[in-house]
Amino acid sequence: MSAATLATPTGRQAAAPARPRRRIRPATIGWSALSVVLFALFSFPVYWMVNTSFQPNNEIRGSDIHFWPDNFTLRNYETVLFDPGRTPFMPAAANSLIVTLTTVAVALIFAFLAALAVTRFRFKSRRTFIIVILVVQMIPGEAMIVSIFRVIDGWQLLNTLIGLTIVYVATVLPFTIWTLRGFVNGVPVDLEEAAMIDGCSRSGAFWRVTFPLLAPGLVATGVFGFIQAWNEFVIALVLNARPEMMTLPVWLRTFLVANGTTNWAAIMAGSTLMAIPVIVFFLIVQGRMTSGLVSGAVKG
C-alpha cells in the first residue's frame, strides 16, 4: 500500500472529534461577581465584630478606623470569662443551651405530630386549625408580654428555666408546625401504601420509608427554631431577671453602662463567644439542612 493511500481519509483512523470549549457567558460572570459582593457585604459585620473583640477599648472609641487589630489583645475575652465583678459567662451559656435545646426538641416532637395530623388525616375544623396557626405566627411575642408574665407568675415559674422553656416552645411551635407541614405534604402517601403492600405494618412503613425522607426537613426546621430561641431577648429579660438565671442575650446587656463608658470591646468579645455554638450547630447539621431546604423542589 502506497503512502498516498495511507494518507487518504479511508486509509487512516478517523480522529476523535474535539470537544467544543465551554464559553463563559457575560451574564454568568456578572452574577458571580454580584454573589461575591453580596457575600462580602453580609460577612463584613461578622468580621468587624471579631476584629473589634481583639482591639483595646480606647482604640475602638477613637476616631481612627482599624480594619485589623494593630494592638492585638485577649484582655476583652479575659474580662468576659473571668471578671469577678460581673455575672459569669459559663452559667449564662449553660442556661441558654439548656433552654434552647429543650425548646427545639419539644417543639419538633409536637410540631411533627401536628404536621402529620393536618396532612395525613381529614378531620373537622382542619382548615380552621391551619388558619389559626398562621394567625398566631403573625402576632409578635412582645404584644403578649404582659399576659405571658402573669401566666408564668401564676404558675410560680418566674426566674426558672422551665418557665422560659414553656414560653419559648409556645413561641416557636406555630412556625415549626407550618414549616413541617410543607415537608410532610411533599412525601407521597403512595410510598407508605407500597411498603404496606410489601408486608410492612403502618408504623413500620412510616419509620422505614417516610421518616428518613422527613429527617432533612426536621433538621432544617430545628436550625431555625434553634436560632430563634438562642437569640431571643425580651421575654428572657422579663421572665428571668436574676443573674443566675440569665441567658446569653440578657447577660450581654450587663456590659451596657447608662451613665458611664460602655466597654464595647468586651461586648464584641461576648458576641463572638455567643455566636460560636450557633456556628458549631450549623456545621454539624449543614448537610441535612441543605437537603431539607431544597427537598420538595423537584417531584418525581
- Per-residue pLDDT tens over the stretch 235-286: 999 999 898 999 999 999 888 776 667 788 889 999 999 999 888 888 887 7
Provide the pLDDT for residue 287: 66
Taking the C-alpha atoms of residue 226 and residue 281, their distance in angstroms, rounded to an integer, is 9
Taking the C-alpha atoms of residue 208 and residue 74, their distance in angstroms, rounded to an integer, is 51
Provide the pLDDT for residue 153: 93
**Inter-residue contact 250 to 237 (CB < 8 Å):** yes
The 3-state DSSP class for residue 23 equals coil
Q: What is the dihedral of CA 122, 128, 129, 133, to 10 degrees?
A: 140
Average pLDDT over residues 10-21: 56
Average pLDDT over residues 78-103: 90
What is the DSSP annotation of 96-118? HHHHHHHHHHHHHHHHHHHHHHH
The 3-state DSSP class for residue 161 equals helix
State the Cα angle at 31 between 30 and 36, rounded to 5°: 100
Over residues 26-71, the pLDDT tens digits come to: 778 888 889 999 999 999 999 999 999 999 888 887 677 778 888 8
Query: Among 63-77, 91-105, 282-296, where is mean pLDDT lowest?
Result: 282-296
Region label for 156, one of left (φ > 0), alpha (ψ between -120 and 50) or beta (otherwise) = left
135's grid cell: 394567625
Average pLDDT over residues 197-225: 84
Element (H, E) at 288: helix 264-294
**Inter-residue contact 48 to 271 (CB < 8 Å):** no
By the 10 Å C-beta count (0-12 exposed, 13-18 middle, 19+ buried), 1 is classed as exposed
Which of 228, 186, 229, 270 lies closest to 98, judged by CA?
229
Whether the predicted pLDDT of 77 surpasses 90: yes
User: What contacts 126, CB < 8 A, 6 or more positions away?
Assistant: 118
Taking the C-alpha atoms of residue 205 and residue 195, their distance in angstroms, rounded to an integer, is 6
User: What contacts 90, CB < 8 A, 6 or more positions away?
Assistant: 81
Taking the C-alpha atoms of residue 227 and residue 188, their distance in angstroms, rounded to an integer, is 30
Taking the C-alpha atoms of residue 44 and residue 50, their distance in angstroms, rounded to an integer, is 10
Provide the pLDDT for residue 295: 47
User: What contacts 278, CB < 8 A, 6 or more positions away?
Assistant: 226, 227, 230
Provide the pLDDT for residue 107: 94
Long-range contacts, 86-89 (Cβ 8 Å, 24+): 86/254, 86/255, 87/243, 87/244, 87/246, 87/251, 87/254, 89/251, 89/270, 89/273
Amino acid at 52: T
**Inter-residue contact 76 to 265 (CB < 8 Å):** yes
Q: Quote the distance between the C-alpha of residue 72 and its chain's center.
A: 31
112's grid cell: 411533627
